[in-house]
Amino acid sequence: MGEVGHPGRGRVREAVREGVRAYLMIAGMWVRSTMAYRASFVMTTFGSFATTFFDFVGIMLMFSRVDALGGWSLPEVAFLYGLSGTSFGLADLVIGSMERLGRRVRDGTLDTLLVRPAPVLAQVAADQFALRRLGRVVQGLLVLGWSVARLDVDWTPLKLLLMPVMLVSGCGIFCAVFVAGAAFQFLAQDASEVQNAFTYGGGALLQYPPTVFARELVRGVTFVLPLAFVNWLPATYVLGRPYPLALPEWVAFAPPLVAVACCALAGLAWRAGLRSYRSTGS
């Protein structure tokens, strides 16, 4: 009985390797195309950096009038902003092209991806890979570094270890939201704005402390769409603040498990959506 599962696991590993290989090949093609016009790349990357930077400027302007936002100081809010911005920026860089799936479904160009010998998810994720999105990642990291330098935190080894874990797990959670939103577009072909409400909107939501939102909203992004595990809950442990919803302390270390669960569920949603696709006009 123990040997029965080995072929299945082997096929899964081979499918993952094939998907990664296809993704890297397509993304590399777009990177080479982008770097053929380096001046344009530099300008668009700076534009991405500047656009997201003005979001943080807005937060700084608020703190020019108040000393705290929901009981959180500027360095603490900047800490949330940096974690959210970097995690979302990484996910947007890696898989942000998923939001265009609805357009492909409507105009029938998704059919061309189905006949290619490569996983459709990898093709859609790498399509028009935009290296300029690095500007968002850099901006998030700069704000995160600025906040860490100004926080009065006792940096234990566990807290230091939690920092990269938060960023990787947050990226995984946002990637899952991108994929699940794309899967929804198989049914609702004009749902890109709905998807953006959960991806870009979720990233903007997490830039502010949970204390400024209603408890019902905090419950929703904790137990329904678990975006709180991107930064709210682990950051609460790092900063030594009371946990929202009086949750236990161990939830600060749950982001990796939540990210894996979200990615698994998003994968199932993607497979279901792809199986339901019947080409354009159907």
Residues in the chain: 282
User: Tens-of-pLDDT digits for all 282 residues of the chain?
Assistant: 444 445 566 776 777 788 889 898 988 898 888 888 888 888 888 888 888 888 899 899 999 899 999 999 999 999 999 999 999 999 999 998 888 888 888 888 888 888 888 889 999 999 888 888 888 999 999 999 999 999 999 999 999 999 999 999 999 999 999 999 988 888 876 667 777 788 888 899 999 999 999 999 999 999 999 999 999 999 999 999 999 888 999 999 999 999 999 999 999 999 998 988 877 654
Q: What is the pTM of this model?
A: 0.90
Distance CA 20, CA 122 (A): 7
Question: What's the pLDDT score for residue 222?
Answer: 95
Q: Rounded to 10 degrees, what is the CA torsion of 86, 89, 93, 97? A: 150
Per the DSSP assignment, residues forming a β-bridge with 69 are 72
Q: DSSP secondary structure string, the chain?
A: -TTTHHHHHHHHHHHHHHHHHHHHHHHHHHHHHHHTTHHHHHHHHHHHHHHHHHHHHHHHHHHTT-S-BTTB-HHHHHHHHHHHHHHHHHHHHHHGGGGGHHHHHHHTTHHHHHTSSS-HHHHHHHTT--GGGHHHHHHHHHHHHHHHHH------HHHHHHHHHHHHHHHHHHHHHHHHHHHHTTTSTT-HHHHHHHHHHHHHHTTS-GGGS-HHHHHIIIIIS-GGGTTHHHHHHHHTPPPGGG--GGGGG-HHHHHHHHHHHHHHHHHHHHHH---TT-
Question: What's the pLDDT score for residue 2?
Answer: 43
